[in-house]
A and B are shown apart, each in its own frame.
Chain A
Amino acid sequence: MSALLSLRNIWVEYGDKIVLEKVDLDIEAGSFVSIIGPSGAGKSSLLRVVLGQEVPTRGTILLDGEPLTPECGPDRGVVFQRYSVFPHLSALRNTIFGLECAKAPLTARLFGGARRAAAAEAEEMLRAVGLGDALHLYPAQMSGGMQQRLAIAQALIKRPRILLLDEPFGALDPGIRADMHALITRLWRDYALTIIMVTHDIREAFTLGTRVLTLDKRRHDPHAPHRFGATAVYDLPLRRTEPAAGEDVADDASPQDDEEAIGNG
C-alpha cells in the first residue's frame, strides 16, 4: 500500500458511550483531508487518536506501515484552534523551541553557532508564514491570525510527516480566514505536506481539501443514542489542480478571496 497513514478498525469509547466505531481509513502522502460532521460526531476524537493524545479503545494506526506509539511525537505536527503557542516566548523563540528540544536534550537551549543556525532556520520559516516582521513579538501582542501563523511555523519547522489542524481558522475573521487559506495552500504545495484538517466550515473543507470525509452515525437508537458511534459516512475525493495552479498569482490575500469569504461568511 502507498498509504502514509492507515487506520484499521478504530473504536473510541468513553465508558459505555461509543464515539467512533469501525473507522477504516487510508491517507495517502500529499493529500489534504478535510473532516467535517455535526458536533459530537467524533471529529476531534479522531484527530486526537491520530495525534496520539488519546488511545483508541480498539484498532491500530499505522504510519508508514509501523504501528504508532500511543503518544504525541515530532512525526505529527498540530495546530489547535487556540493555545498552541507558548505565551512566554517571542515568535522566534517559539519557533526555535522545536529545534532546541531535539538538539539539546538536557538544557533544551542552544548556544553560539548552533543557536545562530537554528535562529536562521526559524527566521526563514517565520518569513514563509508571513511573520518576518514580527520575530520578537510575544503572542499576546499578536492578532489571532498572526498567532495561528506562528503555530503553523512552529509545527512545520519539525518537518512533520503529517500536519493535523483542529479547526485552525475557526476563531478568525472571514477576511483573515481567506488569507490563511491561501497561506496553508501555498505551504501544503511548497513543503509537500500531508494535512488532516477538522473543520465545521463545509465551504472551507471543500475549498482546501483534496478529499472530504464526513463523520456521522450510521445508525441511531432513539432510546440509547450514545450506544452507536460515528464513522466516515461520506468519503469524497476532490480534484484540486485548478486552484493550485491559479493561486500562484493571487497568493497572499487576493481581493477576490476576500469577497468570496465575506459573501459566504
Chain B
Amino acid sequence: MRWVNRHPRQGNRILLGALPILLLLLLYLVLAAQRHAENPMDKILPLPGSMRDAMAALLFQADQLTGQFVFWADTVASLQRLGIGLGIATLTALVAGLVLGVLPPARATFGPLVTAIAVIPPIALLPILFIALGLGETAKVALIVIGIAPVMMRDIAAHVSDLPREQIVKAQTLGASSWQIMIRVALPQAMPRLLHAMRLALGPAWVFLISAEAIASDVGLGYRIFLVRRYLSMDVIIPYVAWIAILAILMDGALTLASRRAFPWAHGAGR
C-alpha cells in the first residue's frame, strides 16, 4: 500500500502524535541526568525535581516585597495585555476589513496605507511607542495591536472582496443597500475567517508581548523569563516556556471550537 493512502485510525493518531513529544522529553531527561552525574550543581539542564522546587516557590509562596504569588501575577498580567491587544486588533481588523473589502472607494483610498503599515517590522516601532506612550501598559498593548492588526485586516479585506460577485449582485437585486450587504452578507461570512486569522495571529502576538515585556516591565511571563535569565535559572525558564505553550494551545483550541460551534455552515455544514 502506498504511504499516501495509509490513514492512521483515531486512537493510533493520538499515539503517533504523542510519540515524538515523549521521545523529546526522554532525550531531555537522559541528557540532564548525564550532566548531573558529572556535576551535581549543573544549572543548564535542570532535573524535574529542581524545576518543581523552583516553581513551587513562585506558585504557592507570596512574594515578600509585593505580597503577590509571582507566577499567577505574571500570568494574569501577560494574559491581560495579550487579550486587550488581540481584542483591539480583531475588532479593528473586522471593521476595517469589511469596509475595505466591500466598498471599492474605501479600498482605493486606504488599501495602500494598510499595506505600507503592514510591511513595517513592528519591533522597529517599539522605541517610538515607548517614547510616545511611556513604559506602561499602553505601549505593550499598542505593540501587539500594531504587530498583528494590519495582517489580519488585509486577510479579512481580501476574503471579503473575494466573495463571489454573484452574491453581491444577488443581494442588490433583493434590495440590499451597501450597509445591509456589509452587515448581512459580508460580516457573517467574514466571521469564521476572522477566528482563523486570530488563531494565526496568536503566534506573532505572543512574540510581541514577550518582546515588550523583556524590554520594559515589572511583571509578566516574558519579564520573568528575561529576569531569571541573569541567574541562569533554567529551572524557572523551562516551566514558564512550557506554560506559555500550554496557554497558546488552549487559546488555539478554544478559537477552533468556537468557530465550529458558532459557524457550522463554514465547516461542511453542521450535522
Contact = CB atoms under 8 A, between A and B. Distances in A.
Interface in B159-188: 164, 166-167, 169-177, 179-180, 183-185, 188
A141 interface: yes
B227 to A, nearest CB: 48
A72 B169 contact: yes
Contact of B270 (A102, A105, A138): A138
A175 interface: no
A140 B192 CA distance: 16
A151 B183 CA distance: 20
B75 to A, nearest CB: 37
B170 A108 contact: no
A155 interface: yes
Given A82-B166, A84-B166, A108-B184, A98 B172 contact: no
Contact of B175 (A73, A84, A151): A73
A45 to B, nearest CB: 14
A128 B266 CA distance: 28
Given A101-B175, A105-B180, A108-B184, A84 B269 contact: no
Given A86-B185, A108-B180, A140-B269, A73 B164 contact: no
Interface residues of A, number: 37
A85 B171 CA distance: 9
Given A84-B166, A87-B189, A88-B188, A154 B174 contact: yes
A101 B270 contact: no
B226 interface: no
Nearest to A163: B173
Interface string B258-271: 00000111101110
Given A72-B169, A80-B166, A86-B185, A141 B269 contact: yes
Contacts, number: 88
Contact of B173 (A76, A82, A85, A107): A76
Contacts of A141: 269
A74 interface: yes
Interface in A81-126: 82-89, 97-98, 100-102, 105-109
Given A73-B175, A108-B180, A138 B265 contact: yes
A202 B265 CA distance: 37
Nearest to A103: B175
A140 B175 contact: no
Per DSSP, chain A at the interface is: loop
Interface residues of B, number: 26
Contacts of B264: 138
A207 interface: no
Most interface-central of A74, A80, A101, A139 (chain B CB within 10 A): A101
A105 B177 contact: yes
Contacts of B167: 83-84, 86
A84 B170 contact: yes
A261 to B, nearest CB: 26
A88 B185 CA distance: 8
A87 B263 CA distance: 11
Contacts of A130: none
> Which residue of A84, A88, A89 has the most chain B CB atoms within 10 A of its CB atom?
A88
Contacts of A154: 170, 174
B188 A98 contact: no
Given A83-B167, A87-B189, A155 B173 contact: yes
A72 B172 contact: yes
Contacts of B270: 138
B174 A71 contact: no
Contact of A88 (B170, B174, B177, B263): B263
Nearest to A160: B173
A158 interface: yes
A105 B177 CA distance: 8
25 contacts: A73-B175, A74-B173, A76-B173, A80-B166, A84-B170, A85-B170, A87-B189, A87-B265, A88-B188, A98-B175, A101-B176, A101-B180, A105-B177, A105-B180, A106-B179, A107-B183, A108-B179, A108-B180, A108-B183, A108-B184, A138-B264, A138-B269, A140-B268, A155-B170, A158-B174
Given A71-B172, A73-B175, A105-B179, 4 more contacts: A138-B265, A138-B269, A154-B170, A155-B173
Sorted from nearest, which 6 A-B pairs have the closest CB atoms?
Answer: A72-B172, A83-B164, A98-B174, A140-B269, A74-B175, A83-B166
Interface of B: 164, 166-167, 169-177, 179-180, 183-185, 188-189, 263-266, 268-270
Interface of A: 51, 53, 71-74, 76-78, 80, 82-89, 97-98, 100-102, 105-109, 138-141, 151, 154-155, 158, 160
